[in-house]
Amino acid sequence: MRSATHQGRVGMARLGLEIALDSREVFAGESIEGALVVSIKEDVVTANMRVTLEGEERTRIRSSRPRLDRLIWPSTGYIDQRREIHGVERTLRAKSRIEPPGARIPFSLPVPIDALPSYVGRFSQINWVLRARISMDPPPDLIQTAEITLLSRAISSETQVALTPDEAAMGLTLEVTGGRVEPEAHVTGWITIGNVKRKPREIRVEMLAHEVARAESRGWQEIEVKDTLLAKQRAFEKQEMVEGARKAFDLKAPRDLPPTYRGIWSSVDILLRAVADIPLRPSVSVSVPVRTGATPPLRPVD
């Protein structure tokens, strides 16, 4: 078990509080399993013991709001925005007496099925902590925290299909087998060429991470958007680009594939996109979203 410890003083009694966890990573809809380990040298009376799962959604984006002394160039400052995410709480014991050398109190705390996954991106961050509190009689309380990584499971769905509009320079149909993908898994499907009005240089399939973060600033809504190319594959050679041609693709997701989620201020979508790169004209593309599972955070927000 992994653990975190804390010591405090209640009267003349020396107390130690440790959170021992089976794992610091848990899937939404499952339970955090562990125990509170209390070590003491003298008898103490506790009012109650409880554990709470607490979350925070944070966005940090560059402000584009003009200042009074700079009406043309935007401000280079940042907007930091945070909100608490409601989790779940469980009382382990009501009023009780603990005698030396202490006690070990096991617990199982269920995680909501719709809990946002832990995530660290360019503009946004989702963090979770497990907070243990022992209310003493008399006070003060004894508090300890442990970081938790929440993981989401991708939800399976039927094959998805998307088509370009009739007025597009060329027709493309994108079919994706299923609507879920896990890190390092393969995403498969087909691209079909429709009406060819202008022949492209190439037709490729791409996997993109679309991150959006929002913040409010004196009535303005500030938005940051970033598209990250995760993987790509050329689907057709030039000589194969004829009307009615159909070809399968197999795209491997990266190991650090981010989770899909939708918070109040931030979101991440994973898109599968077919792109026809047409000379001297805008590219023609069509995309479908896929759901992903989660990997642990990689780095903090700057």
Q: What angle do CA 57, 61, 62 make, to 5 degrees?
A: 165
Last residue of a domain, one of 151, 169, 191: 151
Query: From the CB of residue 297, how many other CB atoms can be counted at a distance below 10 Å?
Result: 19
> Could you give the percent of the chain with pLDDT greater than 70?
86
184/262 same-domain check = yes
As a whole number, mean pLDDT of residues 110-123 equals: 91
The structural domain count of the chain equals 2
193/258 same-domain check = yes
pLDDT for res 219: 67
CATH of the domain at 234: 2.60.40.640
Of residues 112 and 158, more confidence is placed in 112
Closest alpha carbon to 268 in 118, 85, 111, 83: 118
Query: What residues does 248 pair with on adjacent strands?
Result: 190
- Tokens standing for 248? 């399968």
Contacts of 275 (CB under 8 A, 6+ apart): 203, 204, 205, 206, 283, 284, 285
pLDDT for res 11: 43
Query: Distance between CA 197 and CA 226 in Å, rounded?
Result: 31
Query: From the CB of residue 87, how many other CB atoms can be counted at a distance below 10 Å?
Result: 19
pLDDT for res 72: 42
15/63 same-domain check = yes
Would residue 228 count as lying in a domain?
Answer: yes
272 pLDDT tier (thresholds 50, 70, 90) = very high
Q: What is the mean pLDDT of the chain?
A: 84
Would residue 298 count as lying in a domain?
Answer: no
Would residue 166 count as lying in a domain?
Answer: yes
Would residue 207 count as lying in a domain?
Answer: yes
183/77 same-domain check = no
Q: Which domain holds residue 138?
A: 2-151
Contacts of 2 (CB under 8 A, 6+ apart): 20, 21, 23, 24, 146
pTM for this model (two decimals): 0.75
Would residue 299 count as lying in a domain?
Answer: no
83/117 same-domain check = yes
